[in-house]
Each structure stands twice: as C-alpha cells, then as structure tokens.
Structure 1
Amino acid sequence: MSDRLANDPIYRTDALIAEDIEKYLEVHQHKTMLRFITCGSVDDGKSTLIGRLLYDSKMIFEDQLAALEADSRRVGTQGQEIDFALLVDGLAAEREQGITIDVAYRFFATEKRKFIVADTPGHEQYTRNMVTGASTADLAVILIDARKGVLVQTRRHSYLAHLIGIRNIVLAVNKMDLVDYDQGVFDAIVKDYAEFAKSIGIDNFVAMPISGFRGDNITTRSANTPWYGGPTLMEHLETVEVDATADTAKPFRMAVQWVNRPNLDFRGFSGLISTGTIRPGDAVRVLPSGRTSTVTRIVTLNGDLDEAAAGQSVTLCFADEIDCSRGDVIAIADDPVQAADQFEATIVWMDENELLPGRPYWLKIGTQTVTATVQQPKYQVNVNTLEHLAAKTLDLNAIGVANLSTDRSIPFEPYAQNRDLGGFILIDKMTNATVAAGMIHFSLRRADNVHWQATDVTREHHAQVKNQKPAVLWLTGLSGAGKSTIANLVEKKLARMNRHTFLLDGDNVRHGLNKDLGFTDADRVENIRRVGEVAKLMTDAGLIVITAFISPFRAERDMVRQMMQPGEFLEVHIDTPLAEAEKRDVKGLYRKARAGDLKNFTGIDSPYEPPQDPEIHIDTTSMTAEDAAEEIVRRLIP
C-alpha cells in the first residue's frame, strides 16, 4: 500500500471495514451448525418463539423491525408492540388465519453457534410439511400450550420426530404467563409427556417452562419461574452436543448425482458424500452392479483433494472404465451397501387420496427414481395408544408398516443407519404430487432367495411358431359400454384368421383368479395388476390377448402398458356416454347402484378416468358392435 493511500482516511475506513468483514466471516465459518425444528399442535406458539429468537439474537434489520412493528399494529397485537410470529408467518393465508401452513426456514447465529430453524405447521392437515422440516433436523423443540397439555398432534409430531431419527428433544411448555407460571401445571404436563415419550422410545428430553410472548426463559432466565433451575432455550441450543463426526466414522457412501464428462479426456462421478471418508487409492464398489475400481482423483472446484469426508460434494475419478451412472451408489469395496427390490418400510401417508395397494408410484431414494408398488399395510399405528391396527390402506397423516417392491434392484441401507440411503418419498405418477414419505427397515429375504430362471425357448420363438406378433388389446369403458360383446366378436374374427388368442373377461376372472377381491378402489387396482401379469405371461407365450375390463384408473392401465414390450399394448376405449350405458343396464347394476344397494360402482359413486390418448377409439353411439370389432381387427392386422 502506498504512503498516500495508507494516510487517506477514506481508504483506511474502507480497509478496516473489509478487515472486519473478513474476520467476521472467518469466525462464523468455523462455528458448528445446529438444524432444529419447532413443532406441536395448532397455536402452541411456534412462530412466536422463532420470532423471539431472531429478535433477541439481533438478526432483524432496522427496516424489517419497522415493517414488523407496522404489521403488528395493523393486526392488533394484544398489548404488545411486536407480534414476533409475523417474522415467520410470511404467507398471506397464514397471517389471515393465524396458523402456519408452509415450512418456514430461518437462519440466525450467536457468538457460539449457527442455526437453521424450520417452523413446521401444527395443523393436522399439514403434517406432511412437518415431516419435510424434520427430515434434516438434529433437534426438535416440541411446544405445548400450558393451558391445553399434551394433545394428539403433540403425540403425532413427537412420534414422527423420533421415527425420523431426531434424538435431541426439547419439551417447551409455552404460554406459562397464561397459567400464572404455576409449577404444578408444568410438572403435570412433563409427567404426562414423559409417560408417552417412554412408550415410543424417547429416553431423554429437556423440559423447560417458557413464554415466547413475554420472553421468559428464551434467552435470559426468568424471575417468574424461580422454581426452574435448568438452562434457557438459547443456552441449551448453543451447548447441546451434535455428533458431527458420526457420519464421518461410518463406511464411505456416495450416491452418484451425475456423470461429469466435459471432454474425452475426463470422466468423473459427482455427488454428495453421505457418510465416511475417501482418499485416492481407496478401492470402491459401485452398487447395484457390484463392479469395483480404485479412486485416482478427488476433484473439486478448488482443486484436487487428498481426502474428502461426509458432507462434501466431490467428483471421483476411477482407474477403470466401469459402468456407473446417476442413481448408483459408490461405496468402500470391502463394506458395500446392500441392493434389493423388496423391503419392509414405515410409510407416512401425506395425500388426501388414500394409498392404493398395488398401484405403481414413483419412488425416489437418494439420487435414483424407480417404479414401486406398496402391498396392503401390515398394520397402522395409533399415535395415541401405539396400538397396531389392521388396515387395508392408509389415509391422510396415517402411519403404517408395509412391504413394497421396486421394478429393479436398488442400493440402500436401513434408515436407522443412513437417512440418505434409507429414506424415500412416493410420488403419484399421474399428478406428480408427493404422496408419502418412508423409511426402509430391511430388505425381505425373498428378495435374495427368488431369482429369475432363464429358459431356452424364448418369447420370440413362441411368436414365430404361431406366425404372429403378440399383442394385448385392452378394452376399457363403463359398465354396459359393450366391452365383452365387442371383445368376443374380435376373438371370433381373429380365430377365423387362424390367429392364436385368449380372451380375459372382467366377470370371468372374478370367478377364479380374483374371486377374493371386492370392488373398493384398492381391490380394483389389485384386480388389474393380476390380470396384467397374466396378460404378460400370455404374450410371452406368443398369444394375442383380448381383455374386457372397466379398469377405471389410468394409473393401472399405464402400469399394464409398462409390463409389455413396446408396441404390444393397444388401449381400446369403448366410449359410451354414462346416460346411454345406464339406459342399456343389461345386468341391472346401475339400478342397484342408484338405489344404494351396490357401493363403489364406476360412474355412480366411483370415478372412471377415460383414456387420454388411446390407440383405438370406438364410439358406440355411431357404430355397431360388429363394425367396432371389424375396426379393431383392421387396426391390429392391417
């Protein structure tokens, strides 16, 4: 620096500011990070508590404070200048209703630690948002309104927090100012909660009496609770031990996010290290293929590393050109992860539409997305009594245990060992909505014991012998549309052409293969799944399969399509208006449904989802059954 600049007061001021900023960033860079959530029932004071923490930790700018004071006056805060909840309840709907809907994340820091806090919804309808917030948390603050005590949602959130793996629990008995700081009230609530906590496996928790509204025991000890000798909430958050080295001490695992190949001279595999450490020269194994190689480089934006550990994003280069792609898991060679296609898992259902066992969903685990089906739950958990209740399905906010299977073998670890490789979400294929979160317990033994048996006579040979191309003509439509009549005519025409066929009729299969199924949505899904599997076997035998099923749901028709070889599934919409189908009512089913004697009848009290882009569309109002059959055969065999 020149003497002139060194003596310039403006330059010296800027330099000092820059130096202070650098020191500040250096100090904060080496602080530990605590992620925590606040949860509990509606109006227990979660948002107010977080607002108080932000305010007391001096994390509010002057313009924010001014806006907050103005908002507080506008909403009419009770005798207080600032409504701290408004710092967090950012959505207009939340401010109007006085509840938290979304998960609000906030960052703040003290001299000792950095924090990311998630304010999760208390309303039962938004339990799914609470699961989202808890999935990355190290600690949970369970709030209880001192006037109300332990509620159902308190138990549900505690159960979920423990289920997801949070082991640091704070029981914050809030609004003590509204019960005159009565120690008896506090002790009774703690005793009640302790009994429940023990029953779900929570051995330790820290209980404290607080008032987010008044600030009691939030950042400073309150004179209103002389009988309480524990830490303030902030003291506990700053000092609670979070084992940052636990993931590093575990075996190395990294899910591949993408294959990094900018040119022909470089090929690496990028991802976030989930657990363990890795060094150049370490032997690794890629799952599910099981192929092995050696790490030659650990590449980052700032240069190569001699070692990388859990929490770092890196690109690994191998000594060998082995097959490795997005969704695969790179593990240490002598202690790899497992790979399987059938599992037992806990499922938290988060959609207003119930789980349909047998329906295919997208399952996202790690960096991989596969198709999965869930079987009928083994049981549902009553969060109040912890009873295991019999259940055929799961509805909104239900927690159950079920087996599930994927369409291919996937690498995984039990959730208790690895959140990243044991936790998953289920996504509805039609709406792309996330419908459930789950935690894998273990793979099923039959996943290891059952293998595909190769045969020498191929499906191509079966088709060649029959001198035809296998196909599935899937006739779908309302009851009374004419599916069975048209299907029968189609088979007769194909038989006269010396084609090898088989007709699967909806009524007929319910006399044998599917006689155990009813007509609930879940049973309808299983009905179509079984028929689809049978149709697949028949196409493997070289047959032309004709089916006549209402098959009301698009998801199940698409499921069957995915079972078949490309081009072998032809969806045929036998399109008949409901009024016309009901007018025909050959079997008297519509009359029974209208009278309430036949439940879950498609078109009346159960939906029908017409095909959006069928291969063949038959309008029965403009053509006869004979003409319809002729058209279908013509489209099948030009």
Structure 2
Amino acid sequence: MSTTSEQLADLSATTLLRFATAGSVDDGKSTLVGRLLHDSKSVLADQLEAVEAASLSRGQDAPDLALLTDGLRAEREQGITIDVAYRYFATPRRRFILADTPGHVQYTRNMVTGASTAELAVVLVDARNGVVEQTRRHAAVAALLRVPHVVLAVNKMDLVDYAEPVFAAIAEEFTTYASELGVPEITAIPISALAGDNVVEPSANMDWYGGPTVLEHLETVPVSHDLTACHARFPVQYVIRPQTAEHPDYRGYAGQIAAGAFRVGEQVAVLPSGKTSTITAIDALGESVDIAWAPQSVTIRLADDIDISRGDLLAPAGDAPATTQDVVATVCHVADQPLAVGQRVLLKHTTRTVKAIVKDIPSRLTLDDLSQHPAPGQLVANDIGRVVVRTAEPLALDTYADSRRTGSFLLIDPADGTTLAAGMAGDAFASATAPVAAAQDEEGWDF
C-alpha cells in the first residue's frame, strides 16, 4: 500500500482543535467547561444524572456543571481543580480535545502540562477581581509555550450587572499585557458560565457585545495543521533487528515522527553523528508506505548500516538542526526543590536523555512589569527564567519557536527522577546568552 502527497494534504486539513482553560481559583473554569459540554449536548445522560446526584448530596438545587470536569474525589471535597482534566467532545463543525487546568498557584506546573500541546488557551478572569497575578502568570505561560490563540473570558458578568465598562477595562489591561509578552492573537469575550451567557448561546443581557460566543470562536478560529511545512524530525525510539530466516538482514529504526513528513528515496542525516544515508523503506502497521508524517509511529529503513541507537534523530539532510552542548533556554520551574547554578541534572530531549550541569541562570521573569530580575542564583517553584545548561553529549535541538516538539525538553533530578523544569530552547523573552566554556564538575561529569 502506498500513500500519496494528495492524501497527506487532505489529512493536514483536520478539524481537530486542542485547547486549554486557565485562570485563578474560583474564576469558574470548570463551570465554563461544564457549560460548554452541557449546552453543546456533549454530556451523556448517565454523566448528567451522576452530576445531579452529587449536587443534591451537597445541598445544591441545580446541577453543578463544574463536576463534569472536577472528577477526582479530592477536587470535589475541596471545590478546586488539582489535576488536568481532559475531555473530548465534538460539534458538527469541529472536534475538540480540552485540557481543564488548575488555577491555584501551587498547580501552575499542571497548566504547563495542559497547555504544552494546545493551539488555543482560554484564560478566565473574574469580572469582580480583574487581572490578578495568576492571570499574568497564565498569560506568560501561554506566551512561553507559543500558544497561537488566547481567549480572555471575562466571567461572572452577572455579578457586575453585565456592565460594559467593567469588561472593557479588563480586556484592555489584559490585551496590553499579553501583547507585550508576544501573544499573537487575543480575543476577549464577556460571559457568565453559571448562567450560560455567551458560552454557547448569545447573551440577551449584553446587547452591547457583538462578537462571537466562546463555542462559536472555538469552532471558527483558524488552526494550521500543515504537516508538510514542518521541519521533518524523527527521534529513534528503538532499533529493530528480528534476525529471522525470512529477514536475516533486517535493520529498522522505530519511533514516532515528531514533525513533518518522510519519503522513501529521501536523503537523511543521523544526528548527532552527522552521517547521511537514504531511506529505502518505511513500514507502518506492517505494510510498506511511500510517505509517512507526524504523528505516525513507523519503522524507517536506511540504505547504509550506520551506528544508530535510541535517542538519535533523523532529519532531512538539507534541513537538519545544528548540534550543541550549550543549551540556552527559557524554563518554567515545576518542582518544589529549587534549581540552582552548578546543579547536576538530566536533560531529556525527545527520546534522548543526557547528563548536564546548570551553568548559569541569567535572569528570572518578574510578572508584574515583565522585567528581568538579573542573576537570581536559583529558580523556585513556578518561576519562569532563563538558563544556560551544558550537556555531556551533543543535542540536535531546534528552537522552540521553530518546533514546539523538538525545541522542548525536561530537566530531571538524577537522584530520584523528579521533573524539575520544562524548557524551551531559545529565549522567549530576552536575547541569547553567550555560550559557556566546557567544564568538568568535581564528581567527574565531563562536559
């Protein structure tokens, strides 16, 4: 079976939208998501019955739609969202994967997880409180993760008498702040998630607003899935050597295509070694294909026997990323323990994990005015800052601006495997730092 370029073009026009919700505690994220699911008729009857029963047991007269996403018992008892709740639903116009992320500052790390693959972020603001520190933090995370579309949902408009000046002031403040962060597109919508105003149906209480409802915007926002335009990248996950009588010389490199497309006959480079070869076959689901694209899992066979192992990266020979041992990046620190200069870490990039040392932390982002606090020495939980990391082995890193998949990485504690920080190669908010000279730490990690 072979797959043509025309089929690839058709598949790239998918109508799937991945989006995440974020906001401060009690801003109404879970209620908004529940309202979206309920009013778009994406809730099964037994789910709604369970929510109604749980609401009655808590003394509530009407169903608490937030319970559609706050499924963990601990969340229901505390009345807050702790984990990222994923929901899948569809309308006649589009399919959706939704990540309802936590609002409490303690769980900002979960917002990073939920928004890392999102094409759109819905940031909620309580109309009574306006833009607060956590609102700015979520806007900064959305900008850091290069989320291309941000919706400002000014919630609880019913509690401020649906006043247009209140909405206009909040929208102006947030838009100014997010624009300075580099968010490319911001859409502000006044809503009441509890009452259903401007969520799925237009509000009769805000005739001064002429824009789309939340669902209408989600259904119509342009989302690019042009897979053929991406830099093709294939991290090797496993080397297959069956050594059977039928295939005595079979050598295949298995993994998931991270970006772009690969074709039989194409010349590719193997990184970090830099050696080149030609793709002779691509196996997908037990059959040979002429072309494969992200995010398919395939096995690629090459014309030459090259020393390739897990963690190596295949890329088109004419479009391969440069390799480096000096990683300059912006990170969001997600662990309880600090990240300090001189600290030994593991850096995980796609399927490759290498030893590394934090050589410098040039600055930490101050969310109030977006200034850079110089030389903080360490980053603590939920800090966003710039780091310079020296790795023991070369890495084939794209910048995060070019590829969210191959430009991202994790910093891990080598002692217990705890994730310390989520990193984005290149500087999101400042100019690059000069490379750091090679070094060897006192315990013998060579760099």
Tell me the TM-score normalized by structure 2: 0.91
How far apart, CA to CA, are the structure 2 residues paired with 1:250 and 1:102?
Answer: 32
Deviation at 1:421, TM superposition (A): 1.4
1:409 — aligned with what?
Answer: 394
| Mapped pair 1:392 → 2:377 | yes
Provide the residue aligned with 2:136 in structure 1.
155
3-state SS of 1:327 partner: coil
Matches within 5 A, 1:460-539: 532=442
**CA-to-aligned-CA distance 1:423-477 (integer Å, 9 cap, x gap):** 1111112221111111111897757xx789xxxxxxxxxxxxxxxxxxxxxxxxx
CA distance in 2, matches of 1:49, 1:74: 22
CA–CA separation in structure 1 for the residues paired with 2:380 and 2:22: 22
The equivalent position to 1:55 in structure 2, one of 4, 25, 38, is: 38
For residues 444 and 370 of structure 1, the distance between their equivalents in structure 2, rounded to whole angstroms, comes to 21
Does the Cα contact within 8 Å between 2:147 and 2:183 map onto a contact in 1? no
Q: Which residue of structure 1 lines up, in the alignment, with residue 288 of structure 2?
A: 304
Partner of 2:242: 262
Q: Is the 8 A contact 2:12 2:225 kept in 1?
A: no
> For the structure 1 residues 317 and 411, does the alpha-carbon distance in structure 2 shift closer, same or farther, using more than 3 Å as the test?
same
Kept after mapping to 2: 8 A contact 1:31/1:112:
no
Aligned to 1:540: none
After TM superposition, the structure 1 stretch with the greater mean CA deviation from structure 2, 305-314 or 417-426, is: 305-314
Give yes or no for contact 2:332–2:423 (8 Å, CA) kept in 1. yes
Q: Structure 1 residue 276: deviation in Å?
A: 2.2
Instruction: Give the drift of 1:59.
Output: 2.1
Secondary structure class of the residue paired with 2:122: strand
| 8 Å CA contact 1:36, 1:138 repeated in 2 | yes
**Offset of 1:365 from its aligned partner?**
0.8
Q: Distance in 2 between matches of 1:30 and 1:188?
A: 37
Gaps of 5+ in 2: 1-10
Higher strand share: 2
Structure 1: gaps spanning 5 or more residues: 1-27, 453-528, 533-559, 565-638
Matched, 1:185 2:170: no
1:67 is aligned to: 50
* Partner residue, 2:91: 110
Q: Hey, what's the Cα distance between the residues in 2 that align with 1:293 and 1:563? A: 30
Number of matched pairs: 428
Equivalent residue runs for 1:253-332 within 5 Å? 253-263=233-243, 264-332=248-316
TM-score by length of 1: 0.65
- Aligned residue for 1:205, secondary structure, equals strand
1:198-597 equivalence runs, <5 A: 198-245=179-226, 247-263=227-243, 264-390=248-374, 391-441=376-426, 446=435, 532=442, 560=443
The amino acid across from 1:394 in the alignment is L
The two structures, once aligned, show a CA RMSD in angstroms of: 2.1
Q: For the structure 1 residues 144 and 398, does the alpha-carbon distance in structure 2 shift closer, same or farther, using more than 3 Å as the test?
A: same
The alpha-carbon deviation at position 302 of structure 1 amounts to: 5.0
Residue 164 of structure 1 deviates from its aligned partner by 0.6
Q: CA deviation at 1:360?
A: 1.1
User: Which runs of 4 or more aligned residues in structure 1 lie more than 4 Å from their structure 2 counterparts after TM superposition?
Assistant: 28-31, 442-447, 561-564
Q: Is the 8 A contact 2:259 2:405 kept in 1?
A: no
Mark the CA change 1:360 to 1:226 in structure 2 (over 3 Å): closer, same or farther: same
User: Secondary structure of the equivalent of 1:419?
Assistant: coil
> Which position in structure 1 is the counterpart of 2:4?
none
Distance in 2 (alpha carbons) for counterparts of 1:276 and 1:370: 25
Cα deviation, residue 30, structure 1 = 8.4
Larger relative contact order (CA 8 Å, sep ≥ 6): 2
State the AA in 2 paired with 1:96.
E
What CA distance in whole angstroms lies between the structure 2 residues aligned with 1:193 and 1:157?
11
> Which shows bigger deviation, 267-276 or 180-189?
267-276
* Counterparts of residues 114-129 of structure 1 (less than 5 Å): 114-129=95-110
8 Å CA contact retained: 1:295, 1:316 = yes
CA deviation after TM superposition for structure 1 residue 308, in Å: 1.5
Aligned to 2:5: none
Q: Distance in 2 between matches of 1:63 and 1:203?
A: 41
For 1:392 and 1:58, how far apart are their aligned partners in 2?
51
Please report how far the alpha carbon of residue 95 of structure 1 lies from its aligned counterpart in structure 2 after TM superposition.
Answer: 1.0
- Structure 2 distance, partners of 1:451, 1:258, is 31
Deviations 1:24-68 (A, max 9, x none): xxxx99851100000011111111111111112222222211111
Q: How far apart are the structure 1 equivalents of 2:413 and 2:198? A: 45
What is the CA distance between 1:204 and its match in structure 2?
2.7
Answer yes or no: is 1:165 the counterpart of 2:124: no
Alpha-carbon distance in 2 for matches of 1:444, 1:268: 39
Find the partner of 2:79 among 98, 101, 108. Answer: 98
Show CA shifts across 1:251-287 (max 9, x none). Answer: 3211111112223332111122222222111111100
CA distance in 2, matches of 1:90, 1:275: 33
Structure 2 Cα separation of the partners of residues 29 and 334 of structure 1: 23
Q: Are 1:347 and 1:399, in contact at CA under 8 Å, matched by a contact in 2?
A: yes
CA distance in 2, matches of 1:271, 1:248: 19
The answer to whether the 8 A contact 1:362-1:427 is kept is yes
Alpha carbons of 1:428 and 1:289: their partners in 2 closer, same or farther (altered >3 Å)?
Answer: same
The alpha carbon displacement at 1:562 in A equals: 5.3
User: 1:256 is matched by which residue type in structure 2?
Assistant: V
In 2, are the aligned partners of 1:374 and 1:402 still within 8 Å (CA)? yes
**Which of 162, 175, 180 is residue 156 of structure 2 equivalent to?**
175
CA deviation digits over 1:90-146, x for unaligned, max 9? 112211111111111110011111101001111001111100111111100010011
* Number of the residue aligned with 2:178: 197
Map of 2:29 onto structure 1: 46
